[in-house]
Copies of this chain bind each other. A is one copy, B any other.
Amino acid sequence: MRFKIISAEEAAGFIHNGDVIGCSGFTAAGCPKAVTEALAKRAEVEHEKGNEFKIGLFTGASTGDSIDGVLARAKAIKFRSPYQSSPDLRKAINEHELEYFDLHLSELPRLLRQGFLPRPNFAILEACDLTDDGKVILTAAVGIAPAIADLADHIIIELNRYHPKALAGIHDIYDVKNPPQTTVIPISRVSDRIGKPYLQVDPDKIIGVVETNRPNETGGFVPSDEITQKIGANVADFLSVEMKAGRIPQTFLPVQSGVGNIANAVLEAMGSHKDIPAFEVYTEVIQDAVIELMEREAVKFASGCSLTLSRRALETVYSKLDDYKKKIVLRPQSISNSPEIARRLGLIAINTAIEADILGNVNSTHVMGTRMMNGIGGSGDFCRNVELSIFTSPSTAKSRNISAIVPFVSHVDHSEHSVKILVTEYGVADLRGLSPRQRAAIIIEKCAHPDYKGLLKEYLDLGVKGQTPHHLGACYAFHRTFQKTGNMRDVNWKDFQ
């Protein structure tokens, strides 16, 4: 091999205080691990010496602990974008130890290329194979790899032997140029391949190759329970009714589905529904449920940005890789999350809300309006442009002391204009074509937990005039009561007039 094999510590040694790092991967899949761990150690050593050592960090989405976790604990991050799900990093963000810029995932490559954000001078890419002329075969995800490889001065490759070289062919690397060079993204079907199976980088930028043999740090998800199963059944029933009514074609539409146990339960319910035909998936994160449904031929093809699979499911894929490469494609997030493609393919987008309000606004990011949970992720990329945007949530949290259906969300990520369907374990509110007061009535009727229906109706009775029943004094009565008593049901309207 033309490139120098170096240790993770040597690689980390190239990186200095103030540098800006971009990493391959999307979720914990496809992320580098060894160099960032060594970098965290280097930061700790420098900090002990009394030296400043912090870096800027761009990734595709969340990462494994060996990026966000170790670097947050080492206090080595100066700024971070666009998404995270690490408990330690989350804590650091909410305590203002770093600046966190929460962004629509499709937009990051474009914003980086625009040149206003700090330019990543180092790209760290996890690869399963590499040629002397700079053809990089990525592993279980793509993320922002094309953009950062293009923009960085230096590239470090983590050559991870855990992933078979035979992954070559699963990726479709095609990145979108910024205007005025932007062209049509010529995807008309979920399975269309428009790019190359490798990422071409400038070989002169590669300053070293670190050899590793480590699995993805992706865990399994919490299994579905009675409530998530009911949510899944409600979504599947709704979609089958839409199909029978001719509002979804008989061939169905491609499905985008968020991350987590509700998303798994929804996919499982759809895959098992007698009236829903085998469908295609066009999404960012390919989860275990997709592979399970592929094994049962309930899902025909999956396009995504990452294989975010439990070790068992990933091994299923790797054991039949020739077969799976015919029905899975991994794309950069500028393509997997592209608004252009989401609208053209007419996706059904199913994402999870932290809370929703009776007006149809959705909070995807902030607990009680202030504390960052993870980030908006791709939910905005999809909900804004797809054929049918569905948000799901259990109707309550914290032993029912929190209602997920509130008078007004404590943070608005998706506005009433973009949220079309709301689903809890109690039912489905179809908000298309409804005025705010009509939406409020149907959301309370169909989605709210019985414990909170009366309180939500009382809120509407406070007598706000105008198109939208938004009471500036009482809209956060649920949240503020919870902050005081630990139970939203204790609300006393007299305190909020």
Q: Which residues of A contact B (CB under 8 A)?
A: 79, 81, 93-94, 96, 99-104, 110-111, 114-118, 178-180, 182-184, 186, 188, 245-247, 249, 251, 253, 339-340, 343-346, 361, 366, 368-372, 376, 380, 384-385, 387, 410-418, 430, 432-435, 437-438, 464-470, 472-473, 475-476, 479-480, 483
Q: How far is the CB of A295 from chain B (nearest CB, A)?
A: 25
Which among B346, B464, B467 is the interface contact of A372 at CB below 8 angstroms? B467
Which among B111, B180, B476 is the interface contact of A346 at CB below 8 angstroms? B180
Q: How far is the CB of A177 from chain B (nearest CB, A)?
A: 10
A470 and B366 in contact, given A104-B417, A182-B343 (Cβ under 8 angstroms): yes
What is the bound-complex CA distance between A468 and B101, given in angstroms? Answer: 11
What is the bound-complex CA distance between A251 and B179, given in angstroms? Answer: 10
- Contact indicator B117/A433 (Cβ below 8 Å): yes
What is the bound-complex CA distance between A44 and B245, given in angstroms? Answer: 37
Q: How far is the CB of A496 from chain B (nearest CB, A)?
A: 9
- Contact indicator A372/B468 (Cβ below 8 Å): yes
What is the bound-complex CA distance between A95 and B182, given in angstroms? Answer: 47
What is the bound-complex CA distance between A110 and B346, given in angstroms? Answer: 10
- Contact indicator A339/B384 (Cβ below 8 Å): yes
Instruction: Enumerate chain B residues within 8 angstroms of A182, measured Cβ to Cβ.
Output: 343-346
What is the bound-complex CA distance between A194 and B246, given in angstroms? Answer: 29
- Contact indicator A339/B343 (Cβ below 8 Å): yes
What is the bound-complex CA distance between A63 and B106, given in angstroms? Answer: 36
A430: nearest residue on chain B (CB-CB)?
A: B116
- Contact indicator A438/B99 (Cβ below 8 Å): yes
Instruction: Enumerate chain B residues within 8 angstroms of A371, measured Cβ to Cβ.
Output: 465-467
Which among B114, B116, B247, B417 is the interface contact of A103 at CB below 8 angstroms? B417
Instruction: Enumerate chain B residues within 8 angstroms of A466, measured Cβ to Cβ.
Output: 94, 366, 368, 370-372
A82: nearest residue on chain B (CB-CB)?
A: B417
- Contact indicator A179/B253 (Cβ below 8 Å): yes
- Contact indicator B99/A434 (Cβ below 8 Å): yes
What is the bound-complex CA distance between A380 and B343, given in angstroms? Answer: 15
A433 and B116 in contact, given A372-B467, A410-B472, A418-B380 (Cβ under 8 angstroms): yes
A339: nearest residue on chain B (CB-CB)?
A: B339
Which among B96, B110, B184, B340 is the interface contact of A186 at CB below 8 angstroms? B184
Instruction: Enumerate chain B residues within 8 angstroms of A117, measured Cβ to Cβ.
Output: 432-433
- Contact indicator A464/B370 (Cβ below 8 Å): yes
> What 4 pairs across the A-B complex have the smallest Cβ distances?
A179-B346, A370-B466, A412-B412, A372-B467
What is the bound-complex CA distance between A188 and B340, given in angstroms? Answer: 13
Q: How far is the CB of A296 from chain B (nearest CB, A)?
A: 23
What is the bound-complex CA distance between A58 and B178, given in angstroms? Answer: 36
A369 and B115 in contact, given A384-B384, A418-B380 (Cβ under 8 angstroms): no
A188 and B184 in contact, given A384-B339, A415-B413, A417-B102 (Cβ under 8 angstroms): yes
Which among B93, B110, B247, B480 is the interface contact of A116 at CB below 8 angstroms? B247
For the A-B complex with A370-B466, A380-B384 known, give 8 more contacts whose Cβ atoms are closer than 8 Å.
A178-B387, A179-B345, A179-B346, A368-B466, A369-B468, A371-B467, A380-B417, A472-B480
What is the bound-complex CA distance between A178 and B248, given in angstroms? Answer: 10
Q: Which of A178, A339, A435 has the most CB of B within 10 A?
A: A435
Q: Mind listing 25 A-B residue pairs with CB under 8 Å?
A: A99-B435, A104-B418, A111-B432, A111-B433, A114-B387, A116-B432, A116-B433, A179-B253, A179-B346, A179-B387, A180-B253, A182-B343, A182-B345, A184-B188, A340-B340, A366-B466, A368-B466, A370-B467, A372-B468, A384-B384, A385-B385, A410-B472, A415-B415, A472-B483, A473-B476
A183: nearest residue on chain B (CB-CB)?
A: B188
What is the bound-complex CA distance between A462 and B186, given in angstroms? Answer: 51
- Contact indicator A94/B467 (Cβ below 8 Å): yes
